[in-house]
Amino acid sequence: MSENPKALKVFSPIRIWTTIFIGLAVASYLVYKEFDPKNFENLSWSWTATFWIIVAVLMIALRDFAYMVRIRILTDYKISWRNSFDTIMLWEFASAITPSVVGGSGVAIYIVNKEGVSLGRSTAVVLSSAFLDELFYIIMVPTIIAIVGFTQLFPEGLDKEIFGVMWGTKDLFVVGYCFILFLTSFICYAIFFRPRGFKWVLLKIFKLPFLQKWRVQAGETGDEIMVTSKELRGKPISFWLKAFGATLASWTARFWVVNFIILAFNAVDNHLLIYARQLVMWVILLISPTPGGTGVAEFAFSGFLSIFIPLGLVGTLAFIWRLISYYPYLFIGAIILPRWVRRTHSVQED
């Protein structure tokens, strides 16, 4: 991976423009669908709205800063603050232009490795980052449900037929959460207890006739788990507490962006319920086939959060949300990428 320039092909201009087009098309449709001039007659931009939008933007900055802290912890501080900024921006850039179900992990390993971190440690950094993200979700879901309850989490009228079966948001959430819980537990066991056994099981599973064409990739995954295990075994509890603390800060900031955007236009008081519904939304976005969940995210925002938003403003706030939390990574990444390639390649040549 470290020597494969094909990893950079994910940053192709056509991916970027396709992503922008899909997002703007869906946002425009939502605004058009609900547009009514009467809903805007009593709406005026105030200093209060400006203040909360600024706070929302600051949450984005906090989210990225926490990610920078985490990657420095996971690399044993081998990446400088300046280079960690480039790393996180390019990582987010890759995630923004690849389908959510695929993610940007492969490119992330390449990026971290090019910052002077060994390939083994780079693999460990990316896999442990994913592990910590899932761990946050596994812990936070029952915590929030214990506070706000289960019945208010799921909006009505969003049932979809999948393979001839009607699925509601509750069904998708329960299945998704159980899958994340199982997968995270399995990977945790593989990394910290039986990495070689994990690879053996994978290869056995992928000997099945209908899975054989993915056997090579399964073997590579097993190798990555073994490398990760070697890199992470023996780390003190303080290492994991600091890394999880940064993860908690980054995800909390990510979700509170929506709370502050809504607060700019509506004096809501049940912020934990908004937060809780975003936890449910996240499962839906995880299986999105579109780059960075674009298009799906806007529809999910409308379906899950419309009850907290003044009539006629759902599409507008969905667009503002994506405008400050998603699109900037497309442009920042495109600006950083050429300079980053020159810097990392010159270092390699030296």
What span, in angstroms and rounded, lies between the C-alpha atoms of 128 and 68? 14
Q: How many CB atoms lie within 10 A of CB 81?
A: 11
Residues of the chain with pLDDT under 70: 1-13, 15-17, 19-20, 23-24, 26-44, 99-104, 157-166, 287-295, 345-350
At residue 1, the 3 state secondary structure works out as: coil
Report the alpha-carbon distance of residue 37 to residue 296 in Å, rounded. 26
- The two three-digit tokens of residue 23, written as one number: 């997002």
273 C-beta neighbours (distance < 10 Å), count: 19
**What local confidence, expressed as pLDDT, does residue 142 receive?**
92
Q: Which two tokens stand for residue 258?
A: 């929506």
Evaluated on CA atoms 212, 213, 214, 219, the torsion sign reads positive
CA gap 18, 97 in Å, rounded: 9
- What are the structural domain ranges in the chain? 5-349
pLDDT at 292: 60
Q: What is the pLDDT of residue 4?
A: 47
Distance, in Å, from the CA atom of 151 to the CA atom of 170, rounded to the nearest integer, reads 9
Paired tokens of 61: 């900055």
Q: Give residue 1's pLDDT.
A: 40
- What pLDDT is stored for residue 350 in this prediction? 45
